[in-house]
Amino acid sequence: MALSICPPFHRAYRVLAGASLLCTTMLLGQSTTVVLRDHLDPSRLEARRDSFTVIMRGTQRGWQVLSTARDGEGWALGDALSIDGMVSQSSVIRVSARLDETSLRQHGTMMGKPMRIALDASGPRVTGVALTPNNPAGELAIDVPRTEGLLDDNAVTPLLAFVRWREDFSAVFPVLSSGKGTVSDVSVRTLGKEQVTVPAGQFETWRVELQMGVSRLVANITTAAPYRIVRMSNGPMFEMHLVR
């Protein structure tokens, strides 16, 4: 769609900047395109539900809920978001036991207009349909090659907490814009550790920068278990704070 993260990364950019993004890795100081799955720690996944408040220009404007639940041998990653008068949507991203994305189902409204996306990743391609306000012609058919480790933009935010973050972590990762059917590179790097206070409490976090072109988002993710996103921001325009 055209931000699981209005609060999460992709939505905020779609809603506020019209861009989608996510994350990646760098080894020995050399930036290289990677498979995000190879930098996820499956042992960090657990059934849970995290609630956030969405703040725009210093005013609370909505909420977001990220959830993780078992789905057979894999996982179902839930992401529900509501921002007053702008967007209301719900997504379910399913991933296999290997943490490869297998499907996306999303529905809701944006700027008062209906939107829905249904994608399936099987065999060599990702196929489905997308109806968003960004597609004036109506429903768009999606059909792109299923490259190794490809994720759609809605899967980025729910997976951030499970990355093995470390000092000097930097990378480039291909992400499918689910509402457009295009693939773009997103870069990510750690900026160090930071103490953060949000309604849910005080946490030691990794401060992580995600960028695509001129669009930039900063996320704070706890350094210790239970691994959680506690804050995301692209400046005074948009912030997301963990409530519980």
CA distances from 166 to 70, 88, 135, 192, 223 (A): 27, 34, 39, 8, 9
Q: Is the pLDDT of residue 243 over 90?
A: yes
CATH number for the domain whose boundaries are 9-242: 2.50.20
pLDDT of residue 226: 92
pLDDT tens digits along 83-132: 998 999 999 999 999 889 999 999 999 989 999 999 999 889 999 999 99
CB neighbours (10 Å) of residue 135? Answer: 15
Considering only residues 151 and 235, tell me which one the structure prediction assigns the higher pLDDT: 151
Structure tokens at 179: 């509402």
Q: Is the pLDDT of residue 29 over 60?
A: no
- Helix, strand, or coil (residue 140): strand
Percent of the chain at pLDDT > 70 equals 86
Cα(117)–Cα(131) distance, rounded to whole angstroms?
6
pLDDT of residue 32: 55
Considering only residues 11 and 146, tell me which one the structure prediction assigns the higher pLDDT: 146
pLDDT of residue 136: 78
> Could you tell me if 40 and 221 are in contact, meaning their C-beta atoms sit under 8 angstroms apart?
no
pLDDT tens digits along 55-66: 999 999 999 999
pLDDT of residue 78: 97
pLDDT tens digits along 183-228: 988 888 999 999 999 999 999 999 999 887 778 889 999 999 999 9
Domain regions of the chain by residue span: 9-242
Considering only residues 23 and 151, tell me which one the structure prediction assigns the higher pLDDT: 151
Phi and psi at residue 206, in whole multiples of 5°?
-85, 130
pLDDT of residue 15: 38
pLDDT of residue 123: 87
pLDDT of residue 235: 78
Q: How many helices and strands (H and E) does the chain possess?
A: 2, 17
Torsion of CA 69, 14, 106, 183, to 10 degrees: -90
